[in-house]
Amino acid sequence: MTQSPANTPMSINADRAAGLLTIDWADGHRSEYEAVPLRLLCPCAFCSGEAGRPGWLDTNPTLTSEQTQMVGARLIGQYAIAVTWADGHDTGYYTYESLRENCPCPACTIARAGQG
Ligand SMILES: [Zn+2]
Ligand SMILES: [Zn+2]
């Protein structure tokens, strides 16, 4: 695994009231993830599938308010964050690398679009 300033968090703030996960990276970049898109990124086997099989999120489910309400976040070792949702789901380990790759800020969105 490659650890670089771009995927090393300096500070992580889970604002449950606002439904916002904010990460300041070691390279000075800040990423703010809203709860709904964050839930849609859930990398767990149930949500995203495994071994080539589609997951629950691939069925374009209608998410309930409980499923998109962030109630907590905890660190998984040195490499990931697990978010707990109000419906009890907490098995999605969001690696720093994937979080940074999916940074929703305008600059990163444009950069990703440019990569085609
Ligand atoms: Zn999941
Ligand atoms: Zn960004």
pLDDT digits (tens, 9 = 90+) for 57-106: 999 999 999 999 999 999 999 999 999 999 999 999 999 999 999 999 99
Which domains, from first to last, does the chain contain?
Answer: 5-114 (3.30.2020.30)
What mean pLDDT value characterizes the chain? Answer: 95
Q: Tell me the whole-structure pTM to 2 decimals.
A: 0.91
Which ligand neighbours the alpha carbon of 68 most closely? Answer: 1
- Position 3, amino acid: Q
Distance 47 CA to ligand 1 centre (A): 4
| Closest ligand to Cα 38 | 1
Query: What would the two tokens of residue 29 be?
Result: 């970049």
pLDDT of residue 1: 55
Return the beta strands (E) in the chain as ranges.
9-15, 20-25, 30-34, 70-76, 80-85, 93-95
Which residues are paired to 83 by β-bridges?
73
Total residues belonging to the chain: 116
**How many C-beta neighbours within 10 Å does residue 50 have?**
11
- The β-bridge relationship of strands 70-76 and 80-85 is antiparallel
Mean pLDDT of 12-34: 97
User: Ligand 1 centroid to 102 CA: how many Å?
Assistant: 16
Q: How far apart are CA 114 and CA 69, in angstroms?
A: 32
Q: How many CB atoms lie within 10 A of CB 108?
A: 15
pLDDT of residue 116: 63
Q: For residue range 96-106, list pLDDT tens digits in order.
A: 999 999 999 99
Residues surrounding ion ligand 2 at CB below 5 Å: 103, 105, 108
Query: What per-residue confidence (pLDDT) applies to 23?
Result: 98
